[in-house]
Amino acid sequence: MSFQDPTPANLATELNTLSLPATAHPVTVVLVATGSEGEIATSATELAADGISQAFPLTQLPDFKTATLIPGAFETDEPQAAGWMRFQDEQGDVDIALTNVSVEGTTLGGCSSVSGILTADIPASQAGVALELESGATTLGALAGDTGPWAIRAVFGGGTIDFDFEALPDD
C-alpha cells in the first residue's frame, strides 16, 4: 500500500513505512459478487477464530455498500460511512478510523489479484492516536498537521484471502 497526495506528506511517509513489511495489510477489501451485482466493505481485518481466515473485528464492523461490477473491475457506488486501517508500530497494533471510504480496483487472473485505489478521510478525532516509530513517539495529528479531517489516497495491490463470513453478525 502506498499513500499519495492528497494524504498529508509527513503522514504518507510514515504510513508507507508501516505498510512495507510483507505481513502488513492495513485494510482488506471484501467483495461479494453474484453475477453483475456486488457488495463491498473495506476495513482492517484480523485472524479469525479458525486461525486461518480473516475477519472484521466485531467492534469495528464496516457497512457493506453496493458495488458496480464490470468485467475485470469494480468500485463502490457510494462511500462507506466508516472503516479502519491497522498498522504495526514499534509497540504493536495501531488502529486508525476512516470515514467516507471508497475503493476501486482492476482484477486479474480470474479475480485472484487486484490493483486498486482507496480514498477516505481520517476524522479529526484521530489526531491523538499515538504512533511509536523508529524516529520516536508522535501522534497522527502531529504528522498530518493542521486540523482534520485529513483526506487520504492509497494505491494497493493484493490477492485473494480466506474471509470468515460466518463471523459477521446476522442483519
Residue type, 42: T
| Confidence band, pLDDT 50/70/90 cuts, at residue 35 | confident
Containing H/E element for 105?
strand 93-108
Could you state, in order of their start, the residue ranges of all structural domains in the chain?
2-162
pLDDT given at position 109: 82
DSSP 108-119: ETTTTEEEEEEE
**Other residues' Cβ atoms within 10 Å of the Cβ of residue 37:** 11
- Averaged pLDDT for residues 35-46: 90
Residue type, 171: D
pLDDT (tens digit per residue) in 63-101: 999 999 988 899 999 999 999 999 999 898 999 999 999
Residue type, 147: T
| pTM attached to this predicted model | 0.91
